[in-house]
Amino acid sequence: MSRMSFSCDYLEGALPEILKRMEETSMEQVPGYGFDPVSESAKDKIRKACETPKADIYFLIGGTQTNAVVIDGFLHRYEGVIAAGTGHVALHEAGAIEYCGHKVLTIPGSFDKLSAAEVEHYMENFLGDENHEHMVQPGIVYISQPTEYGSVYHKDELEALHETCQKYGLPLYIDGARLADALAAEDNDVSLPLLAHSCEAFYIGGTKCGAYIGEAVVFPHHDTIPHFFTLIKEHGALLAKGRLTGIQFDTLFTDDLYFKAGKHAVDEANRIRAVLKECGYTFDLENTTNQIFIVLENEKYKKISEEVELAFWEKKDDTHTVVRIATSWATKPENTDRLCAILRQYR
């Protein structure tokens, strides 16, 4: 790949600190399946960072897998998962949720963030339908922080949503594939401990935030899902050499590396954002995290693409395209400079 790329946030490998520790510890003999000392240490550090001393923590491998295992763990066979129409589980996971036998119940008209009011309305409608025992029972609510469009839920939104979920007996599960980016957003007021206290489960994304692979599932309350270990195994999601994810999270939660990884990504995105605004580019949707969605004329998109790889997101209309620019922990500042120059040039 000769052109530099801002097309996505998992183009590079892992933080050097992680690779170094993998090398240093490689010949140590440790037990498998996540019971090694480093994995235990990583869990402790996460418990501290979340201020949830009794949390159960499991390391899984990727987002789709994590969503499938956790959601399946929460649901009874006759239940489905409520999500926004734009939710990752609804669109881009190849039916991994349905594969487990559960319907994704998308709230009609919902887009990006899911509000307490939308869930309330959905549930009232459902319960008010005489035939609701003939329908899939809503069993959990799924959101992502930040969303698939890079938006962050604020404290009041999250707490209202959680309250509504509790009213209907629905656990709230938060997909944190890019959680480091939400935590670093200027307008963010949802800390890790607050997040942990506002849901029944969430995961701290590693793959997109400095790790090679790995997502840390956090159940703030002990034994939320009995036999979750067996469920992981049954899903084919259990890592023999669990140390691999353990090392990564232990490193990420040392010296605030995880938070720094997010901050770097968002800082670089903010520099790009400023140039885009200055030059009058059109944003498809405004957000404050590491992904930027702009609308480009097709011709201009084509020309810019000759110098830097951006991501096609969707057709806006016949002459315009929605394009995604993504930064990450690995974005080189000099590349951001070059991208800014290009954007200025094609303003």
In the region spanning residues 10 to 29, those forming contacts with a copy of itself, defined by CB under 8 A, are 10-14, 16, 19, 22-23, 25-29
Output the DSSP codes for 97-135.
HHHTT--EEEETT-BSB--HHHHHHHHHHHHH-TTGGGS
Query: How far apart are CB 215 and a copy of itself at their closest, in Å?
Result: 10
Query: Is 194 among the residues that bind a copy of itself (CB under 8 A)?
Result: no
Q: Are 114 and 107 in contact (CB under 8 A)?
A: yes
Q: How many residues bind a copy of itself (CB under 8 A)?
A: 78
Query: Is 330 among the residues that bind a copy of itself (CB under 8 A)?
Result: yes
Query: How far apart are CB 36 and a copy of itself at their closest, in Å?
Result: 9
How far CA 327 is from CA of 29, 161, 296, in Å, comes to 37, 29, 19
Query: How far apart are CB 194 and a copy of itself at their closest, in Å?
Result: 28
Residue 206: CB atoms within 10 Å: 30
Query: Is 121 among the residues that bind a copy of itself (CB under 8 A)?
Result: no
Gap between the Cα atoms of 189 and 196, Å rounded:
13
Query: How far apart are CB 101 and a copy of itself at their closest, in Å?
Result: 5
Closest CB to a copy of itself among residues 49, 206 = 206
Structure tokens of 270?
């903010």
Binding range to a copy of itself, per CB under 8 A, among 9-17, 155-163, 196-204, 292-300: 9-17
Closest CB to a copy of itself among residues 25, 191 = 25
Residues linked to residue 216 through DSSP beta bridges, in sequence order: 59, 204
Query: Is 191 among the residues that bind a copy of itself (CB under 8 A)?
Result: no
Closest CB to a copy of itself among residues 99, 345 = 99
Query: Is 112 among the residues that bind a copy of itself (CB under 8 A)?
Result: no
**Contacts from 100-107 at CB under 8 Å and sequence distance 24+?**
100/68, 100/71, 100/72, 101/72, 101/77, 102/71, 102/72, 102/75, 102/136, 102/139, 103/136, 104/80, 105/80, 105/81, 105/136, 105/138, 107/82, 107/83
Binding range to a copy of itself, per CB under 8 A, among 48-56, 208-216, 285-293, 316-324: 208-216
Residue 141, SS3?
strand
Closest CB to a copy of itself among residues 215, 284 = 215
Structure tokens of 89?
């589980």
Residue whose entry in the numeric block shows the structure tokens 């057709």: 315
Contacts with a copy of itself in 223-262 (CB under 8 A)? 226-227, 229-231, 233-241, 243-244
Structure tokens of 291?
């992904």
| Closest among 282, 328, 323 to 304, alpha carbons compared | 323
| Closest among 226, 232, 166, 176 to 201, alpha carbons compared | 176
Contacts with a copy of itself in 142-181 (CB under 8 A)? none
Query: How far apart are CB 147 and a copy of itself at their closest, in Å?
Result: 18
Q: Are 116 and 163 in contact (CB under 8 A)?
A: yes
Closest CB to a copy of itself among residues 2, 280 = 2
Dihedral angle of Cα 68, 121, 114, 77, to the nearest 10 degrees: 0
Query: How far apart are CB 247 and a copy of itself at their closest, in Å?
Result: 9
Stretch 298-327: interaction string toward a copy of itself, x if CB under 8 A: --------------x---------------
Binding range to a copy of itself, per CB under 8 A, among 69-77, 141-149, 263-271, 289-297: 69-77
Query: Is 88 among the residues that bind a copy of itself (CB under 8 A)?
Result: no
Query: Is 136 among the residues that bind a copy of itself (CB under 8 A)?
Result: yes
